Amino acid sequence: MHLLEVKNLHVAVDGKQILNGLDLSIGKGSVHAIMGPNGSGKSTLAHVLAGKADYVVTQGEVLLDGEDILALPPDERAAKGLFLAFQYPLEIPGVATFEFLRTALNAQRKKRGEPELVVPALMKRVNEAAGKLGIGKEMLRRGVNVGFSGGEKKRNEILQMALLEPRLCVLDETDSGLDIDALKVVSDGVNALRSPDRAFVVITHYQRLLDYIVPDVVHVLSKGRIVKTGGKELALELETTGYAQYRDEAA
Amino acid sequence: MNAEIRPIKTAAETALAANFAAARCALPGAGAVAALREHAFRRFEVDGLPHRRVEEWKYTDLRALMRDAKPLAGVPDAATKARAGSAGAALAAAIEARRIMFVDGAFAPELSDLGGLESGLTIRSMAEALAKGDAQVAARIGKAVPTEDVAVALNTAFMGDGAVIRVAAGAALARPIHLVFVNAGGEGASVFTRSLVTVEKGARAMLVESHEGAGEYQVNAALELEVGDGAHVDHIKITGAGAGALHISSLMAAIGAHARFNEFLFTTGAAVVRNQLFVRFAGEGTVAHIGGANLLRGRQHVDTTLIADHAVADCTSREVFKSVLDDEARGVFQGKIIVRPHAQKTDAKMATHALLLSEEAEADNKPELEIFADDVQCGHGATSGDLDEDLLFYLKARGIPAKQAEALLIQAFVGEAVEGIEHAGLRDALMDQVVAWLRQRA
């Protein structure tokens, strides 16, 4: 059984159809890249997988381990091992990053029937994972993402991913707004989490990110459907030819 | 021909008149104090209870909200005092404060922590001071910030007991003073407390005032606060009064030169609350922070009305108020900053933020700036809205259930206001109350 199966997914936002029969199967341990031009539905796919309210599924299924998750609220999807790394991580003044991590981790553990972690054990975990990503203790005391640079925000996303240990990670344009150094730190963080039990959906507009996070499979998304699937060389091909031909194909 | 015709007295107005007639001879203080009472009551008789056509009371129509006036509370008996005994104890312990108890408006020295008073500190009963004809106390009644406000007039007419506290020049109190006002005598009484706190030149004091009780009762509490030159005073008022209570409170604070004054109002209780703050800057170079947080649900109505009067130059004031309004609760904020002609270099900023958790909740905001000087910085801002859906989604996407995500955001919202309190122990204690309030929500 595939870890994730998306079947004939149709999604509308504000009455406008964005996804038009998208199919996608992702096995454990694999990294799939989804590339496509602006407006092709990449972010919509990311948000609908995570369960954002204003995205209306008009048709189709999303199965995680064979179970349809479309009826589940976002927190339950997260507890089942789904993680969305946001393109634009939000700032939450007044909620300290450590408190946020503690609440999230224990909420998931509780939902799964696992014992909650006490602060000393948690502190150790958080500090270790944060250290690897170059996130200092001072940042952990600050409000979530408050005063963080673009790169710091993305690193904070990867920190959350590392701590929550999801099975399916969806990275929504994680490369946007990153300089090459930050891109490398974030990619190293992601690569360190690759494992036979964990799969990644890497959504990106540019091939550059895929030099660092090397995918097993590359899909081209256009007008709300996957129009081509190939190996990692497909990304390089797109880099030279652009998306124009796929726009025409889908039309 | 424009003289306003007074409508027929309401039941509450009639009852207040009857109460005054019955009690006037028994209320503490003769001579000048009795004359003050008569004068104040006449002030009330002229206008009656304030109503929605009285601008200052526009959103809190006492004529409609006060269906009756309860009889004055009697002297609390031993059983009542026993019931009241533990009120405020947990908070006082948490902040290591000296707990001073008032039961049904009467000073209860046997329940109060009066041992080992710091040098320069005196704590007395207002009723006793008035009854003994203490001329110094009598001379100060109504002087900190003179006002024509009717609620204050009623307080002056009926004032019973309260605290008279003096912190002598240069004294720095080691412990906060915690005034606990508890209504324990059951339903149906009204209480008028009047306190006078004088913090002299260069002295340092922290005053916490908490109000609690059960059932339906009426409170009209007034505090006159004199902050001397170079003094540093924190005053934090916690209103957690009973769900059926009507609570009117007036602070009249006169702040001297180069002083620091921090005022914070934390309100979760009572059916109807009117917190009035009359703050007068009487000396130059003073910095004041005036803020508050309301957490309201059901059909609670809480009105915060502030007048910050910059009468002299070079003072800074910051006003930040936050309200969380659930169900059909209503939060009112009226804030007026007055900058007098000579009050150049005044720097005053006022902000109010309301978080509406329900479609039926209501926030009313009325900021006013009256500026008569030309070299000042003044501003105000107000926001109201519901919880940010995108933030909620972010939290939920991390596995935090909806109610918990909301609680986290509400806590953060209130926390930003509470953070301004200097005393860490009190900050923590108030945040615990926020968490407790949120737990009742879930």
Amino acid B92: pLDDT: 97
Cα A164 to Cα A150: distance, rounded to the nearest angstrom: 21
Smallest CA–CA distance, residue B400 to chain A, in Å, is: 5
Domains defined for chain A, CATH in brackets: 4-250 (3.40.50.300)
Beta bridge partners of B304: B275, B333
Q: Is the pLDDT of residue B263 over 50?
A: yes
What pLDDT does B188 receive?
86
Q: Which of B399, B411, B415 sits opposite A78 (nearest CB)?
A: B399
Q: Do A78 and B416 touch (CB under 8 A)?
A: no
CB count, 10 Å around CB of B168? 17
* Nearest-angstrom CA–CA distance, A80 and A131: 27
Per-residue confidence (pLDDT) for residue B4, from 0 to 100: 58
Sites in chain A below the pLDDT cut of 70: 248-251
Give the ipTM of the model, two decimals please.
0.95
Contact at CB, B395 and A104, closer than 8 angstroms: yes
CB pair distance less than 8 Å for A74 and B390: no
Using only the alpha carbons of chain A, give its radius of gyration.
18
For chain B, state the CA radius of gyration: 21
Q: Where are the alpha helices (DSSP H) in B364-401?
A: 389-397
Task: Give me the pLDDT at residue A1, please.
Answer: 81
Which of A47, A83, A87, A90 has the highest number of chain B CBs within 10 A, making it the mutation to test binding with B? A90
Distance CA B383, CA A38 (A): 35
Give buried/exposed letters for A62-77 (b at 16+ CB in 10 A, else e). Answer: bbbeeeebeebebbbb
* Whole-angstrom distance, CA of residue B187 vs CA of residue B189: 6
Quick one: pLDDT at residue B441?
Answer: 86
The pLDDT > 70 percentage for chain B reads: 98
Written as six digits, the tokens of B146 are: 């003179």
pLDDT score of B1? 46
The residue among B387, B396, B431 with the most chain A CBs within 10 A of its CB, best to mutate, is B396
The mean pLDDT of chain B is 95
Which residues on neighbouring strands pair with residue B379, listed in sequence order? Answer: B349
B388-431: per-residue pLDDT in tens? 999 999 999 999 999 999 999 999 999 999 988 999 999 999 99
Q: What is the pTM of this model?
A: 0.91
pLDDT at A251: 43
- Please tell me the predicted confidence (pLDDT) of residue B6: 62
Distance CA B432, CA B279 (A): 29
Residues of B in contact with A77 (CB under 8 A): 397
Mean pLDDT calculated for residue range B186-207: 94
Contact call for A104 and B416, based on CB within 8 A: no
Q: How far is A240 from chain B (nearest CA, A)?
A: 36
Residues B120-175 pLDDT 10s? 999 999 999 999 999 999 999 999 999 999 999 999 999 999 999 999 999 999 99
User: What pLDDT is recorded for position A242?
Assistant: 86
**B213: part of which helix (H) or strand (E)?**
strand B204-213
- Give the pair of three-digit tokens for residue B266: 């934390």
SS (H, E, C) B288-353: EEEEEEEEECCCCEEEEEEEEEECCCCCEEEEEEEEEECCCCEEEEEEEEEECCCCCCCEEEEEEE
Long-range contacts of A190-195 (CB under 8 A, 24+ apart): A190/A158, A190/A161, A192/A132, A192/A162, A193/A158, A193/A161, A193/A162, A193/A169, A194/A29, A194/A31, A195/A29
Q: Quick one: tokens of B78? A: 């031993």
CB contact (8 A) between residue B400 and residue A103: yes
Contacts of B420 in chain A (CB under 8 A): none
